[in-house]
């Protein structure tokens, strides 16, 4: 059963009272909130996700609560609460939905150490994953959003989960977070894309979440093998260009982009080494998304030939 099967009344009652349990990749979140923007965002962006029975075990219990004291009424605030603790400072209540998504990322990145976790987008084609590690502002999520509207499957726009058992990539498949100019760029590139309301003036600028299309979710339990490690960088007016990168240098940079590489010790080292050993590694500059997609598609053709 998917969330879309619930009536608006049923959905409202679940979110406000017992919480609504949603499975996203290997994790189940139970989310409870009486804040309208949170309810609206969940109803829109997670409509096609599996609805989990209230009796099942969940990985994370999350509440989005209104601020305490005077901040319930004057300059209202919102608090992210996970398993009884509140790890972040309260934010303006208008930032409630982005805070929920950021908080969900925090839950995974601080707890899911059965995986090697990289700060990287990751997409898949023909069973092979392209890992896209890059710092904020590099165009990583914009490129990811474009690729998944041109035949690539979304595994994650923000966090790459790698099994420490066999180095396969485990899908997370959550809404894609886009910021500032990227929002209009993707609206123009993919007019059918569905977005949440854009929230201005956050710590990251104007933020909107893009809904994941159902056919990606239908394969959310299908893992992928490493195929490419590509370090993207948006450069205005640049011609799209791949430049080969050494595996040794790529491994060092991936380690710097990992959430828990040091924590995992030898297991993290061997997992990362296996990923890099199976992957073709590149630096990638681009400015036009259409050209970028063509180059990624050519990589698949070359690998299959």
| DSSP assigned state of 290 | H
Give the model's pLDDT for residue 305. 74
Q: Phi/psi zone of residue 173: left (φ > 0), alpha (ψ -120 to 50 degrees), beta?
A: left
pLDDT tens-digit readout, 71-107: 677 789 999 999 889 999 999 999 999 999 999 999 9
CB 43 within 8 A of CB 197: no
Percentage of the chain exceeding pLDDT 90? 90
Please name which of 183, 117, 199 lies closest in space to residue 146, comparing C-alpha atoms.
183
121-126 mean pLDDT? 97
What digits encode the pLDDT tens for the residues 39-61? Answer: 999 999 999 998 888 778 999 99
Check whether 110 has a pLDDT greater than 90.
Answer: yes
Number of Cβ within a 10 Å radius of residue 48:
16
176-225 pLDDT, tens per residue? 999 999 999 999 999 999 999 999 999 999 999 999 999 999 999 999 99
How far apart (Å, rounded) are the C-alpha atoms in residues 270 and 164? 8
The DSSP bridge partners found for residue 243 are 283
Query: 144 to each of 5, 125, 175, 209, how far by Cα in Å?
Result: 29, 13, 12, 13
In angstroms, rounded to a whole number, what is the distance separating the alpha carbons of residues 92 and 75? 7
Rounded Cα gap, residues 45 and 79, in angstroms: 21
Domain boundaries, the chain: 3-111, 115-304
């Amino acid at each position: 059963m998917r969330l879309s099967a619930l009536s608006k009344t049923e959905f409202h009652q679940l979110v406000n009272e017992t919480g609504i349990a949603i499975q996203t990749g290997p994790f189940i979140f139970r989310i409870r909130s009486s804040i309208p923007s949170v309810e609206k965002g969940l109803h829109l962006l997670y409509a096609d996700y599996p609805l989990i029975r209230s009796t099942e075990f969940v990985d994370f219990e999350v509440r989005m609560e209104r601020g305490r004291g005077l901040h319930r009424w004057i300059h209202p605030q919102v608090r992210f609460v996970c398993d009884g603790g509140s790890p972040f400072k309260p934010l303006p209540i208008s930032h409630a939905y982005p805070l929920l998504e950021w908080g969900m990322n925090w839950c995974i990145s601080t707890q899911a150490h059965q995986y090697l976790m990289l700060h990287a987008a990751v997409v898949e084609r023909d069973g092979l994953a392209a890992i896209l590690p890059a710092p904020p502002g590099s165009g990583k999520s914009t490129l990811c959003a474009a690729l998944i509207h041109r035949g690539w499957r979304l595994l994650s726009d923000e966090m790459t989960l790698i099994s420490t058992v066999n180095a396969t990539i485990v899908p997370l498949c959550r809404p894609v977070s886009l910021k500032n100019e990227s929002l209009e760029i993707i609206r123009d590139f993919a007019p059918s894309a569905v977005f949440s309301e854009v929230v201005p003036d956050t710590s990251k600028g104007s933020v909107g979440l893009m809904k994941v299309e159902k056919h990606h979710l239908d394969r959310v339990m299908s893992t992928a093998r490493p195929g490419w490690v590509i370090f993207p960088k948006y450069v205005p007016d640049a011609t799209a260009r791949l430049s080969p990168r050494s595996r040794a240098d790529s491994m060092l940079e991936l380690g710097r982009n990992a959430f828990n590489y040091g924590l995992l010790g030898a297991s993290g080292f061997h997992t990362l080494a296996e990923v890099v050993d199976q992957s073709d590694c590149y630096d990638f500059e681009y400015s036009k998304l259409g050209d970028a997609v063509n180059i990624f598609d050519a990589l698949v053709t070359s690998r299959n030939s």
